[in-house]
A and B are shown apart, each in its own frame.
Chain A
Amino acid sequence: MNYWPLLGILLVVLGFALRMNPMLVVTGSAIITGLLGGMDLVKVITTFGKAFNDNRIIAIVWIVLPVIGLLERYGLQQQAARVIRSIKAATVGRLLLLYMLVRQATAAMGLTTVAGQAQTVRPLVAPMALAAAEQQLGEVDEPTAEKVKAYSAATDNVGLFFGEDIFIAIGSIVLIQQTLATYGYNLSPLHLALWAIPSAVAAFLIHGTRLMLLDRKLKLGGK
């Protein structure tokens, strides 16, 4: 067996570890992996180009940017922060916990693109979380602001990943079903989706606990 293509993986890991420009790392790794896998350069470029073209749907979400940018122009983030400041009981942890619940629930209904990093986290969730942190601490220093923003993004991901598989018509459930069907195991999507529920509950409990701990940490750090 030809193990040389694994060198491509090593390049990616090394490139990311050394914080080289990811666009170069990915392209370099693609070309080298392809060549080591026995393709010629033209074939590598052709395969890479076709795959890029086949995945253009990923670029569609950027269509929301003009709307988000325009609303930011009129103070959307400031308003999100003002709302949180008016709720005296608001904390970063409670706010993100609530957001995770909504994100998991909507994802479980198959509505994965309804919320997201560009659609909701940047314009609403992150500014709200920062305002809550300000309320808890008085003043938020930069490392804390970074942490609060990172947790906002992380909460969106956890909610999405461990909600979407409860929906029967999501890509990953279809993939599991198709893969196992080729071996003669014909499972209904509903049966598979059912087994996504225990992990969804665990995800909510584990990440939720961390959010509550974050609140406590903010409280201790603020004194």
Chain B
Amino acid sequence: MITLQWLYALAGAMFAAFALLSVFDRSNPKRLGNAAFWGLMALSLLTGDFIGDFGNGLLVLGLAGLAGFGFLGRSHPATTSDEERAAFSVQLGNKLFLPALIIPAAALIGTLVYNYTPVGSLGWIEAKRETYVFLCLGALLALGTIYLWLRPPAVAPLQEGRRLIDAIGWAAVLPQMLAALGVLFAAAGVGTIIGDITGMVIPKGNIFATVLVFAFGMVLFTMVMGNAFAAFPVMAAAIGVPLLIQAYGGDPAVVGAVGMLAGFCGTLMTPMAANFNLVPAALLELKDQYGVVKAQIATALPLLAVNILILYFAAFR
């Protein structure tokens, strides 16, 4: 059976190659820092299940130290110039899109075939992970296609991948760090405390005010934790179930679904949701790391207002 371990091994091998290539990159004065950083990522992906939880903890501290104290530099692997690229695009034309589309097509078709034909009933992929497997398969397929078609230098995919990962830098690891921070917040009881506090500020008997506190609680908690998943169980326990559903008779389906979506409005407004809001800023090489968040606020606030109205009118119809 193809499990997540296979994918970790594949990604781990890639990061190991990034680390190795970094060591020999004389164009980057901080090359050893980059090598150590991507080396630790490779170690995590390849051996994370064997080095113990404390070992993983030390590994994370290492990553944070390298990134936080400025040991990472920007590399400049050899690639084509803008003029060469323009010439290539004229020469190759729209065929260039085909390899790029192999990845989503493989993920899409693979997932559909796996779930809706007998292919999947054999259970050769770890449950619920098939899209990731087909995504990786698509990436390998695309790579093979490009090799056959354009015959790039053998090491080019890894060097071009390293060019991109160094442009993203530590932001590539931050989402995983934040997910871990969320777990620690939960273990330290932060969720229960916030649930308690929001529970205290509600005026008795006022349904609309309760809906407001519930929605804003979802938003604020989501902004702090970086995702609505951590906020939902807490706000449901504090307000959603005991007050909105049980005391006032609100429709549980609306309270659940729209409550979660109110939280998503919070996700649009917080740097804590790093993979959605900070990583793209790095990927697109924005000057302002909060540029994406700023572009989203004016969508998030009116959308939150609409969600509050849907929650109020649909749950208590």
Contact = CB atoms under 8 A, between A and B. Distances in A.
Interface of A: 1-3, 5-6, 8-9, 12-13, 16, 19, 21-24, 26-27, 29-30, 33-34, 36-39, 42, 44-80, 82-83, 106, 110-115, 117-124, 126, 142, 146-147, 149-154, 156-158, 160-162, 165, 171-173, 175-177, 179-180, 183, 185, 187, 191-196, 198-199, 202-203, 206-207, 210
Contacts of B68: 21, 23-24, 27
Interface of B: 4, 7-8, 10-11, 14-15, 41, 44-45, 48-49, 52-61, 63-64, 67-69, 79-80, 82, 84-90, 92-94, 96-97, 99-100, 103-104, 107-108, 111, 131-132, 135-136, 139, 142-143, 146, 150, 152, 156-161, 163-165, 170-185, 187-190, 193-194, 196, 224, 228-229, 232-233, 236, 241, 245, 252-254, 256-261, 264, 267-268, 271-272, 274-281, 283-284, 286-289, 291-292, 294-296, 298-299, 302-303, 306-307, 310, 314
Given A154-B292, A165-B261, A30 B181 contact: yes
Contacts of B281: 150, 153
A102 to B, nearest CB: 11
A47 B194 CA distance: 21
24 contacts: A12-B181, A23-B63, A24-B64, A39-B187, A46-B54, A47-B183, A47-B184, A55-B180, A58-B175, A60-B8, A64-B135, A65-B160, A66-B139, A66-B160, A67-B139, A73-B80, A82-B89, A113-B132, A157-B280, A157-B292, A165-B264, A176-B257, A180-B256, A185-B252
Contact of A44 (B63, B175, B184): B184
Contact of B184 (A34, A69, A150): A34
A22 B282 CA distance: 13
Contacts, number: 428
Contact of B180 (A30, A176, A202): A30
Contact of B176 (A19, A56, A147, A199): A56
B57 A46 contact: yes
Contacts of B181: 12, 26, 29-30, 33, 48
A39 B188 contact: yes
Contact of B59 (A49, A51, A67, A110): A49
A191 B184 contact: no
A6 B190 contact: yes
B232 A70 contact: no
Contacts of A47: 53, 57, 183-184, 187
Contacts of B159: 69
